[in-house]
Amino acid sequence: MDHPGLPQLIIILIYLGLLLALGLFSSRLFKGTKEDYQVASHSIGPFLLLMSIFGTTMTAFALVGSSGEAFREGVGVYGMLASSSGIVHSLCFFLIGVKVWKLARRHKYTTQIEFFRDRLDSDFVGYLMFPILVGLVIPYLLIGVISGGAVIQSLTGGLAPDLPMFQVFDAEGNANPALHGGVPPWLGSMVICVVVLVYVFFGGMRGTTWANTFQTLVFMILGVVTFFVIANKLGGQESLLDNLKTLANSVPEDKVTRSAMSKTKFFTYLFIPLSVGMFPHLFQHWMTAKSSHAFKLPVVCHPFFIMIVWVPCVLVGIWATGLPADMHLPANPNTILPFLVKTQTGPILGGFLAAGILAAIMSSLDSQFLCIGTIFNNDVVTHLAGKDRFSDRQQVMFTRLFIIGIVAITYFLSLGNVRSVFALGVWCFSGFSALFPIVVAALYWRGLSAAGAISGVFAAITSWCILFYQGTKVPMEQGGLSKFVLELPIGGESYELMPVVAMMLSSTVTMILVSLVTPRPSEEKLAKFFG
Amino acid sequence: MKASKSRGPLIIAVLVLLLLILHQDNWFWTDATLVFGFIPIALFWHACISLAAVATWFLATRIAWPLSDDVEDHEGGA
C-alpha cells in the first residue's frame, strides 16, 4: 500500500464498483416502461429530488474550479458564482420547475421540446431547438469527461512510471513530477464513461437519481473533511481557529477584497445561472417529482448546499495565494486543490478526494447522457414515426442505444483539444441563458407566438456565434475565450459586461417584437396552458 | 393567513429583488476586514446572502407556493 498512487487507485476502483452495484440494483426495480426508464414513473420524493438536482447542477467546477478561481481572482468568486446561483437557481426551480411540472404531468411531456412544440403549436420549433440543445450539452459533457481523466491521472501520479503509456515528460524530456506514472487521461476518461454508461443503461432515471444522491453526499462530505484537514496541516497551530486565523492573515490583500474585479462584470455574472432554466437534463429531473410539493425542499436547501461546498473551497483557494514560494505551487490554478491534498494530506484522503471529485463529475454526466438519449428517442424517432408505432420496450431500447452512441461520441471528442473545451464552459452556459426568455414567455405570456419564439431562438444563437467569434480573437496570453467581455463606454468610462447580457437582450427584444406582429396560437391552444 | 397568501408572491418578489440588490455589495469591495479573525468580509457577506436566500425561499414555500393542493390532486400527485 506504500506504492505511490496505489491507495488512491484502489479507493477510486472501490468507489466506481459501488456505483455500478447501485445502478445494477436499481435496475431490479425497473418496471419495463418508457415512463419508468426516462422519469422513474414520477415517483421521486423531496430528498432524492434535492440531492439529484443539486448533484446535476454542481460539476467538477464546484470543488476544483472554485478553489482554482479563488486562487486566481480572490474571494469575489463566491459572490460571482455561488451566492448568485443560490438566489437564481432556486428562482428557476420556483418559477419554471413547478409550472412545467404541472403542465408536463397534465399533458404527458418528458422533454422540453415536447413542451415547446405543443405550447407553440409548431413542429419546426422542435427541429430548431433539438440541435441547439444537444450542441450546448455536448461541451458540458466534454468538460466532465476530460476533467475525470485529468483528476485520476493527477491523483495516481507515480503509480506505474515504467509503463510507457503512463509516462509524462515535459518539453525538455524531464518526467513531470505531478503526472508521471499516473493513469493516462484517455484510460481514466474511458473508465468514467463506461461506469456512467452501465448504471444509466440499466438503471435509467431511477438508477441515475440514486447514484446522484449517493454521489452528492460523497462530494459534500469529502469537501468539508478535506477543508479541515488542509487547514490544520497548513496552519501549523494548536487549534482549528488559530489555524484559520494564521492562514487568513497570510493572504495578500487583493485576494481578500475585490479590488481587481470589475463591478459591472460581477453584476452581469448574475445572468449566467439563469441557464439552469433551460438545461434539458434538469427539465427531465423536474419531471421525476412525485408532486409539486417535492420541489419545496430543493427550492429552500439549494442555496445552503451551494454554501457548504463553495465556502471551504474558496477559503482553501485564497490560502494558497499566501503560501511560501518554496512549496512550488502548480501553474494551473485548477490543480491547486488536488496539489494541496497530495502534498498536505495522506494517500487515503487523496483517494477519497479523487472519489469526491469524480462524484461531482459523474452526477452531472449521467443526467446529461440520459437526457440526450431521451431527446433523440422522443423528439426525433418517435415524433417522426408516430407515437403508436413503437412499443414501450422498443422505445426504451432506442433510448439506450442513443445513450451508447452519445457516450461514444463524447469520449472520442474528449481525446481532442482540451484547452478550447474548457473555455467553452461559460459559453455553453451563456447559450442556455440566452434561451431563458423563451421558456419564461412560454409559461407566462399568452402573446408569445411560434414565430416570436423561433425568431428569439435564432437571435440567441446568432448573437452567440458573433460574440463567440469575437472571443476567439482574444489572445491566449490574455485568457482567450474565457476572458472575453463587452466594453460599454459611458461618460468617458468603460464598463465590462458579460457577453450573455447582449445575447439575452437580443433574444428577448426579437421574441417580443416578432410576437407582437405575428399570430399567436389559437384560443383553444392557449386555454390548454393558461386556462 | 389568507391575506398573506394573496400578497405572498408580491412579498417574495420584493425580497428576491432586495437579495439581488444586496448581492451587489459595492460597499465591501475594497474592505479587507476579517470577520472572526479568519473570514474575509466579502465572503462572509455573501455567505449571509446565501442564508438569506434560504430564508426567502422557505417563506416562498409558505406564502407563495404556485400550486394549490386541489391542483396537486387533479394532476395525479401524491
Kindly list the residues from chain A whose CB atom is less than 8 angstroms away from the CB atom of residue B58: 300
| Cell numbers at B11, concatenated | 412579498
Residue carrying C-alpha cell 474548457: A422
CB-based contacts of A472: which residues, under 8 Å, 6+ apart?
A480, A481
pTM of the predicted structure, to 2 decimals: 0.92
Please, what is the Cα angle at A139 between A353 and A183, to 5 degrees?
A: 40
Classified as helix, coil or strand, A416 is: coil
For chain B, count helices (H), then strands (E). 3, 2
Please, what is the Cα angle at A160 between A159 and A163, to 5 degrees?
A: 160
- What domain range is B53 assigned to? 2-65
Classified as helix, coil or strand, A132 is: helix
Kindly list the residues from chain B whose CB atom is less than 8 angstroms away from the CB atom of residue A267: 24
Q: Domain A6-26+38-423 adopts which CATH fold?
A: Sodium/glucose cotransporter (1.20.1730)
Residue A426 host element (H or E): helix A418-444
Nearest-CA residue of chain B relative to A102?
A: B75
Q: What Å distances lie between residue A348 and A4, A71, A222, CA to CA? A: 11, 25, 12
Q: What is the pLDDT of residue B77?
A: 46
Query: Residues A61, A66, A67, A73: what is their CA dihedral angle, to the nearest 10 degrees?
Result: 130
B51 burial via Cβ count (<10 Å: 0-12, 13-18, 19+): middle
CB-based contacts of B9: which residues, under 8 Å, 6+ apart?
B64
Farthest CA pair distance, chain B:
55
Nearest-CA residue of chain B relative to A45?
A: B78
Kindly list the residues from chain A whose CB atom is less than 8 angstroms away from the CB atom of residue B76: 42, 105
Which of A90, A251, A318 faces B53 most closely, judged by CB atoms? A90
Kindly list the residues from chain A whose CB atom is less than 8 angstroms away from the CB atom of residue B77: 105, 290-293
Residue carrying C-alpha cell 476518461: A189
Residue B6 or A264, more confident: A264
The minimum CA-CA distance between A405 and chain B, rounded to whole Å, is 34
Q: What Å distances lie between residue A333 and A61, A317, A505, A509, CA to CA? A: 12, 9, 33, 39
Give me the residues of A, 315-344, that contact B with CB < 8 A.
315, 318
Q: Does the pLDDT of residue B1 top 60, yes or no?
A: no
Domain positions in chain A are: 6-26+38-423
Q: Please state, in angstroms and rounded to a whole number, the distance separating the CA atoms of residues A410 and A425.
A: 15
Partner A contacted by B1 (CB < 8 A): no
A19 burial via Cβ count (<10 Å: 0-12, 13-18, 19+): buried
Which of A75, A82, A303 faces B42 most closely, judged by CB atoms? A75
Cα atoms in the 13 Å half-sphere on the side-chain side of A311: 24
CA A400 to chain CA centroid, Å, is 22
Partner B contacted by A231 (CB < 8 A): no
DSSP letters, A299-333, are HHHHHHHHHHHHHHHHHHHHHHHTS-GGG---SSG
Phi, psi angles (nearest 5°) of residue A53? -65, -45
Q: What is the pLDDT of residue B78?
A: 38
Classified as helix, coil or strand, A171 is: coil
Q: Please state, in angstroms and rounded to a whole number, the distance separating the CA atoms of residues A504 and A510.
A: 10
Q: Please state, in angstroms and rounded to a whole number, the distance separating the CA atoms of residues A61 and A69.
A: 9
Q: Say if the Cβ atoms of A258 and B42 lie within 8 Å.
A: yes
User: Residue A353 carries which side chain, given as an amino acid letter?
Assistant: L
Number of structural domains in chain B: 1
pLDDT tens-place values along chain A, 531 residues long: 678 888 888 999 999 999 899 888 888 888 888 889 999 989 999 999 999 999 999 877 777 778 888 998 999 999 999 999 999 999 999 999 999 999 999 998 999 999 999 999 999 999 999 999 999 998 888 888 888 888 888 888 888 888 888 888 877 888 877 788 889 989 999 999 999 999 999 999 999 999 889 989 988 998 899 899 999 999 989 899 999 999 999 999 999 999 999 999 999 999 999 999 999 999 999 999 999 999 999 999 999 999 999 999 999 999 999 988 888 787 777 778 878 887 888 888 888 888 888 888 888 899 999 999 999 999 999 999 987 889 988 999 999 999 999 999 999 988 876 555 556 778 899 999 999 999 999 999 999 999 999 999 999 999 999 999 999 888 877 777 878 899 999 888 889 999 999 999 999 999 999 999 999 999 999 999 987
Q: Please state, in angstroms and rounded to a whole number, the distance separating the CA atoms of residues A79 and A188.
A: 33
The minimum CA-CA distance between A84 and chain B, rounded to whole Å, is 7
Q: Say if the Cβ atoms of A256 and B29 lie within 8 Å.
A: no
Residue of A41, A42, A43, A75 best to disrupt the B interface, most CBs of B under 10 A: A75
Least Cα distance to A39 among A383, A380, A214, A294 occurs for A294
Which of A106, A244, A314 faces B75 most closely, judged by CB atoms? A106
CB-based contacts of A57: which residues, under 8 Å, 6+ apart?
A85, A89, A276, A279, A282, A302, A364
For chain A, count helices (H), then strands (E). 23, 2
B/e letters for A361-387, b = 16+ CB within 10 Å, e = fewer, are: bbbbbbbbbbbbbbbbbbbbbbbeeee
Which of B34, B42, B72 faces A79 most closely, judged by CB atoms? B42
Q: What is the mean pLDDT of residues B3-26?
A: 90
Partner A contacted by B15 (CB < 8 A): no
Residue A156 · residue A8 · CB < 8 Å: yes
HEC assignment per residue over A325-365: HHHCCCCCHHHHHHHHHHHHCCHHHHHHHHHHHHHHHHHHH
Q: Say if the Cβ atoms of B38 and A311 lie within 8 Å.
A: no
Q: Say if the Cβ atoms of B46 and A105 lie within 8 Å.
A: no
| Cell numbers at B67, concatenated | 400550486
Give me the residues of A, 94-133, that contact B with CB < 8 A.
94, 98-99, 102, 105-106
| Cell numbers at A41, concatenated | 414513473
- B5 — pLDDT class (breaks 50, 70, 90): low
Kindly list the residues from chain B whose CB atom is less than 8 angstroms away from the CB atom of residue A83: 23, 46-47, 49-50, 53
Residue A281 · residue A265 · CB < 8 Å: no
Which of B16, B29, B50 faces A263 most closely, judged by CB atoms? B29
Partner A contacted by B76 (CB < 8 A): yes
Question: Counting one residue from A and one from B, how many pairs have CB atoms under 8 Å apart?
Answer: 134
Q: Please state, in angstroms and rounded to a whole number, the distance separating the CA atoms of residues A7 and A335.
A: 20
Q: What Å distances lie between residue A237 and A89, A321, A326, A337, CA to CA? A: 39, 19, 20, 21
Q: Please state, in angstroms and rounded to a whole number, the distance separating the CA atoms of residues A202 and A211.
A: 12
Residue of A42, A43, A83 best to disrupt the B interface, most CBs of B under 10 A: A83
Give me the residues of B, 31-70, that contact A with CB < 8 A.
31-32, 34, 37-40, 42-43, 45-47, 49-51, 53-54, 57-58, 60-61, 65-67
Q: Say if the Cβ atoms of A300 and B61 lie within 8 Å.
A: yes
Least Cα distance to B65 among A299, A285, A49 occurs for A299
Q: Please name every residue paired with A213 in a beta bridge, in sequence order, or none if there are none.
A: none
Q: Say if the Cβ atoms of B77 and A291 lie within 8 Å.
A: yes
Residue carrying C-alpha cell 478550447: A420
Partner A contacted by B3 (CB < 8 A): no
